[in-house]
């Protein structure tokens, strides 16, 4: 099938409910999964990998119900390179308006040793399973797991087989987060140049974060020609996680000047889904996490607060509203200056003369040296302590 590929558009494939949930301890309830899938669909995620239908009865039910309720997104299920897996996956996703089967097999030497298949036997298995999937569904994604540690010639050979058997998307997983940005871009570029038929399918990138490079590797892969990024909300996923959805979406939006591709995601819905995934998975978001961390739009030091009060662009490259946050915050602490204290007092409806502000500031600094964060109640108490003393 020849498909129209929009070279300016990057498809967002969210796997929070599959790879994200595989994170130890991140199991979500059926209702939570349905709710998260609805939020993903609503915010413009192109493809939702809803689960691994053969893995359990619960996963099958979740994928099936997400498929039934889907509105705009393609609903995808994962299947190993085995016919019963693929049949089970199809049974679950076929209820979607736009179903997809995603089948995979580990192609690197380490992964080939597990099913104990020779290279030829594995090639034959890929042909058989992708053909089978394509006979069921006209949207088939195939992944050579551990692609970034697979021999170049063999990788080209098996991708060619999958394309000839009817795969419409070829995903290149960096399963153990081993690649680096230059290599990631180069790998996709060379595959597209080398494998016959590669220009007729969408190439996808699926990066893990073991070396903290998942987002950089995914964006580099797009520069190399990939047009689908696989990611999860909050970067949830096995070990150090996957590429974070919020990071790639915002990076493409903020640095469109040097990365001229767009997504269909409404970024103002990011904060809401981040919080929902955090509560459902039980995984707190680290304070300094890019885009969605508690401190991502917070400024404590005097110089930064003063700059922010004059012009937010001094220390922010995104507007809070772009990610669905009402406003930045200027928490008061020992690094804060007089300008932020004055602004806080005004917010609290208190307008002090300069000499009064000076007194309160001295008492504030003394308190801030003893306390991590100074709250509104502390400020009010400091002001009243001054009044009592007068």
User: Footprint of ligand KIV on this chain (CB under 6 A)?
Assistant: 19, 104, 143, 145, 171, 173, 175, 206, 208
Identify which range of 17-25, 262-270, 350-358, 372-380 contacts Zn ion by CB under 5 A: 17-25
> Does the footprint of Zn ion cover residue 174 (CB under 5 A)?
no
- Helices 181-194, 214-224: axis angle to 10 degrees equals 30
336 binds, among Zn ion, ligand KIV, none (CB under 5 to 8 A by kind): none
Answer for the pair 332, 379: CB distance below 8 angstroms, yes or no: yes
Q: Which is nearer to ligand KIV, 148 or 263 (CB)?
A: 148
Please list every residue from 341 through 370 that binds Zn ion, using CB under 5 A.
none
145 binds, among Zn ion, ligand KIV, none (CB under 5 to 8 A by kind): ligand KIV
Question: Residue 307 CB, nearest distance to ligand KIV (Å)?
Answer: 41
206 labelled binding-site residue: yes
Question: Residue 18 CB, nearest distance to Zn ion (Å)?
Answer: 8
Q: Which is nearer to ligand KIV, 231 or 360 (CB)?
A: 231
Q: Which is nearer to Zn ion, 240 or 312 (CB)?
A: 240
> How many contiguous H segments (helices) and E segments (strands) does the chain have?
14, 8
Q: Which is nearer to ligand KIV, 100 or 208 (CB)?
A: 208
Q: Which is nearer to ligand KIV, 143 or 169 (CB)?
A: 143
Which 3 state secondary structure label does DSSP give 329?
strand
Q: Per-residue x/- marks for Zn ion, 206-235, CB under 5 A? A: ------------------------------
| C-alpha to C-alpha distance for 238 and 216, rounded to whole angstroms | 18
Q: CB burial class (10 A; 0-12, 13-18, 19+) of residue 369?
A: exposed
| C-alpha to C-alpha distance for 78 and 88, rounded to whole angstroms | 10
242 labelled binding-site residue: yes
Among all residues, whose Cβ is closest to ligand KIV?
A: 173
Phi, psi of 301 (to 5 degrees): -75, 150
Phi, psi of 266 (to 5 degrees): -85, 105
Question: Residue 91 CB, nearest distance to ligand KIV (Å)?
Answer: 19
Question: Residue 54 CB, nearest distance to ligand KIV (Å)?
Answer: 13
Answer for the pair 61, 54: CB distance below 8 angstroms, yes or no: no
Question: Residue 67 CB, nearest distance to Zn ion (Å)?
Answer: 21
Candidates 302, 293, 289, 380; CA nearest to 334 is 302
Which 3 state secondary structure label does DSSP give 54?
coil
Q: Which is nearer to ligand KIV, 175 or 267 (CB)?
A: 175
Q: What is the DSSP string of 150-190?
A: S-HHHHHHHHHHHHHHT-SEEEEEETTS---HHHHHHHHHH
Question: Residue 19 CB, nearest distance to ligand KIV (Å)?
Answer: 5
What is the rounded (10 degree) CA torsion for 190, 159, 245, 224? 10
What is the rounded (10 degree) CA torsion for 162, 165, 166, 171? -10
Question: Residue 291 CB, nearest distance to ligand KIV (Å)?
Answer: 22
Question: Residue 208 CB, nearest distance to ligand KIV (Å)?
Answer: 6
How many residues sit close enough to Zn ion to count as binding (CB under 5 A)? 1
Q: Which is nearer to ligand KIV, 92 or 360 (CB)?
A: 92
Tokens at 34, concatenated = 């349905």
What is the rounded (10 degree) CA torsion for 277, 281, 286, 290? -30
Q: Which is nearer to Zn ion, 20 or 166 (CB)?
A: 20
> Does the footprint of Zn ion cover residue 19 (CB under 5 A)?
yes
Q: Which residues bind Zn ion (CB under 5 A)?
A: 19
Residue set of the binding site = 19, 206, 208, 242
Residue set of the binding site for Mn(2+) = 19, 206, 208, 242
């Amino acid at each position: 099938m020849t498909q129209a590929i929009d070279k300016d558009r990057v498809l967002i494939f969210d796997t929070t409910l599959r790879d994200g949930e595989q994170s130890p301890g991140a199991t979500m309830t059926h209702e939570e999964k349905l709710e998260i899938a609805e939020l993903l669909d609503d915010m413009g995620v192109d493809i939702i990998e809803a689960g691994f239908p053969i893995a359990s009865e619960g996963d099958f039910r979740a994928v099936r119900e997400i498929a039934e309720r889907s509105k705009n997104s393609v609903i995808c299920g994962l299947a190993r390179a085995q016919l019963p897996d693929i049949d089970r996956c199809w049974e679950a996703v076929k209820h979607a308006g736009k179903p997809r089967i995603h089948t995979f097999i580990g192609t690197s030497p380490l992964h080939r040793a597990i099913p104990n298949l020779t290279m030829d036997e594995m090639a034959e298995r890929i042909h058989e399973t992708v053909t089978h999937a394509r006979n069921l569904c006209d949207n088939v994604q195939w992944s050579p797991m551990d692609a970034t540690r697979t021999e170049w010639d063999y990788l080209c050979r098996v991708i060619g087989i999958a394309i000839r058997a009817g795969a419409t998307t070829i995903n290149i997983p960096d399963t153990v987060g081993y690649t680096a940005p230059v290599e990631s871009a180069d790998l996709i570029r060379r595959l597209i140049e080398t494998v016959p038929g590669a220009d007729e399918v969408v190439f996808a990138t699926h990066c893990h974060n073991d070396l903290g490079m998942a987002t950089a590797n995914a964006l580099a892969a797009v520069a190399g020609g990939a047009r689908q990024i696989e990611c999860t909300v909050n970067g949830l996923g096995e070990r150090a996680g996957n590429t974070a959805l919020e990071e790639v979406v915002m990076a493409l939006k903020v640095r469109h000047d040097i990365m001229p591709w767009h997504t269909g995601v409404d970024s103002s819905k990011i904060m809401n889904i981040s919080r929902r995934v955090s509560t459902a998975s039980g995984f707190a978001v680290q304070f300094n996490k890019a885009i969605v961390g508690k401190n991502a739009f917070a400024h404590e030091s005097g110089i930064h607060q003063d700059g922010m009060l004059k012009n937010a662009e001094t220390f922010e490259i995104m507007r809070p509203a772009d990610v669905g946050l009402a406003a930045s915050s200027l928490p008061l602490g020992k690094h804060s200056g007089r300008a932020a204290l004055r602004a806080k007092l005004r917010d609290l409806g208190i307008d002090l003369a300069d000499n009064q502000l000076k007194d309160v500031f001295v008492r504030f600094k003394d308190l801030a040296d003893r306390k991590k964060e100074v709250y509104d109640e502390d400020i009010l108490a400091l002001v009243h302590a001054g009044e009592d003393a007068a």
